[in-house]
């Protein structure tokens, strides 16, 4: 073999290695509550360290380049957003555009009035729980996620999409920061991808809940479970059962509420499902089975 051919072979092998490293990305939606995929300068072997609004951002090898996979908070304003990128030779600013998106309104009636207008005692409990919930959703683990494309955690129709602007018993409340999947109580809830259980609890609004950390600031939260079948520290493989669908917390009936947090921003879980699975998402909040 002559030397140029050997070089060509080496180049081909390197290209193949890079191509093999290119795993699928989530669906891109650079809107509030969505995900931006931002190419990063430099193609070094070492992963750049990226921050958005002071928080570490997931970086992903995409063929020959690195990309940042950025969660955009629902409260973000459309316009130019800035990443701070450290590739080892100083911090550079990389801009990306956040486009506007208007989410539908949903009106729900909750029979348990305390779940809409909590007492002073309830509020104390809620504040205590919020601290734990926020910490679990903001958790950073250096390990890279096994995959950025998830399986649906339960089989069932998507009943309430992410982002709905909500009114409970006529009162404006926080927007729907997850995706609801309708399923009978007792249906097994499975890890949509591998992860580490970082927290479990029984909360005022969220009911019985499991937090699953997929790595690099990508965290799933599963709410309203009737039964929790894991403990903090458990390492779950994709598809492993973590609990059962229930109706604990603020609900109108049994269903799974699934939140996905990325760099501490709540984003649309449907963006992490394969396109055909995400297609069942209703576009309006006036579906037949509105849930929490
Ligand atoms: Zn929900």
CA distances from 41 to 14, 88, 117, 142 (A): 20, 11, 50, 21
Residue 103 C-alpha to ligand 1 middle, in angstroms? Answer: 15
Of the CATH numbers 3.40.190.10, 2.70.70.10, 3.30.1180.20, 2.60.40.1590, which one belongs to the domain with range 22-98?
A: 2.60.40.1590
Beta bridge partners of 86: 49, 91
d(CA 222, ligand 1 centre) in Å: 10
Residue 143 Cα to ligand 1 midpoint, Å, equals 28
219 Cα: distance to centroid of ligand 1 (angstroms): 16
For 187-241, the pLDDT digits (tens) are 999 999 999 999 999 999 999 999 999 999 999 999 999 999 999 999 999 999 9
Query: Using 50, 70 and 90 to split pLDDT, how confident is the model at 174?
Result: confident
How many Å lie between the centroid of ligand 1 and the Cα of residue 65?
Answer: 36
Residue 291 pLDDT greater than 70, yes or no: no
Distance 176 CA to ligand 1 centre (A): 6
pLDDT in tens, 96-135: 999 999 999 999 888 888 888 899 999 999 999 999 999 9
Ligand 1 is an ion; residues with CB less than 5 A from it: 178, 180, 257, 292
pLDDT (0 to 100) of residue 66: 95
Distance 86 CA to ligand 1 centre (A): 36
Higher-confidence residue of 84 and 44: namely 84
Beta bridge partners of 285: none
Give the residue-averaged pLDDT of 1-16: 55
Residue % of the chain over a pLDDT of 70: 86
Look at residue 110 in the predicted model and tell me its pLDDT. 82
pLDDT band at residue 289 using 50, 70 and 90 as cut-offs: very low
Q: Where in the chain is the domain with CATH 2.60.40.1590?
A: 22-98
Indicate the fold that domain 105-278 takes in CATH: Glucose Permease (Domain IIA) (2.70.70)
What distance in angstroms lies between residue 220's CA and the mean position of ligand 1's atoms?
13
C-alpha distances (whole Å) from 163 to each of 54, 233, 259 are 24, 30, 11
Contact criterion met (CB below 8 Å) for 192 and 236:
no
Residue 160 has pLDDT above 50, yes or no: yes
Q: What is the C-alpha to C-alpha distance for residues 125 and 249, in angstroms, rounded to an integer?
A: 13
Under the banding of pLDDT at 50, 70 and 90, the label for residue 281 is very low
pLDDT given for residue 20 in this prediction: 45
pTM: 0.86
Mean pLDDT, the chain, whole residue set: 89
The boundaries of every CATH 2.70.70.10 domain in the chain are 105-278
Average pLDDT over residues 28-49: 92
Note the pLDDT tens digit of each residue in 10-21: 655 554 454 445
Average pLDDT over residues 256-271: 98
User: What's the confidence (pLDDT) of residue 96?
Assistant: 98
**What is the per-residue pLDDT across 51-74, written as a single tens digit (0 to 9) for each?**
999 999 999 999 889 999 999 999
Instruction: Please tell me the distance from the alpha carbon of residue 70 to that of residue 30, in angstroms, as a whole number.
Output: 9
* Alpha carbon distance 270, 163 (integer Å): 11
Distance from the alpha carbon of residue 31 to the mean position of ligand 1, in angstroms: 20
CA of 223 to the centre of ligand 1 (A): 8
Compute, in angstroms, the gap from residue 100 CA to the centroid of ligand 1.
23
């Amino acid at each position: 073999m002559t030397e140029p051919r050997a070089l060509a072979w080496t180049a081909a092998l390197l290209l193949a290695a890079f191509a093999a490293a290119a795993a699928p990305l989530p669906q891109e939606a650079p809107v509030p509550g969505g995900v931006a995929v931002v190419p990063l300068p430099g193609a070094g072997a070492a992963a750049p360290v990226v921050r958005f609004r002071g928080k570490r951002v997931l970086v992903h090898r995409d063929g020959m380049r690195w990309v940042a996979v950025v969660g955009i908070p629902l409260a973000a304003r459309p316009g130019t957003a800035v990443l701070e990128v450290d590739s080892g030779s100083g911090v550079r600013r990389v801009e990306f555009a956040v486009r506007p998106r208007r989410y539908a309104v949903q009106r729900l009636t909750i029979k348990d009035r305390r779940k809409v207008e909590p007492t002073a005692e309830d509020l104390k409990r809620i504040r205590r729980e919020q601290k734990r919930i926020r910490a679990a959703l903001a958790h950073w683990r250096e390990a890279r996620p096994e995959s950025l494309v998830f399986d649906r955690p339960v089989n069932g129709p998507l009943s309430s999409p992410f982002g709905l602007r909500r009114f409970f018993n006529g009162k404006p409340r926080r927007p729907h920061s997850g995706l609801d999947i309708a399923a009978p109580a007792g249906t097994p809830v499975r890890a949509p991808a591998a992860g580490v259980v970082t927290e479990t609890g029984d909360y005022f609004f969220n009911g019985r809940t499991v937090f699953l950390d997929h790595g690099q600031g990508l965290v799933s939260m599963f709410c309203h479970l009737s039964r929790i079948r894991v403990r903090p520290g458990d390492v779950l493989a994709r598809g492993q059962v973590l609990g059962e669908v229930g109706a604990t917390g603020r609900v109108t009936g049994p269903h799974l509420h699934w939140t996905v947090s990325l760099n501490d921003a709540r984003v649309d879980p449907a963006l992490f499902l394969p396109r055909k699975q995400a297609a069942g998402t209703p576009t309006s909040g006036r579906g037949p089975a509105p849930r929490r």
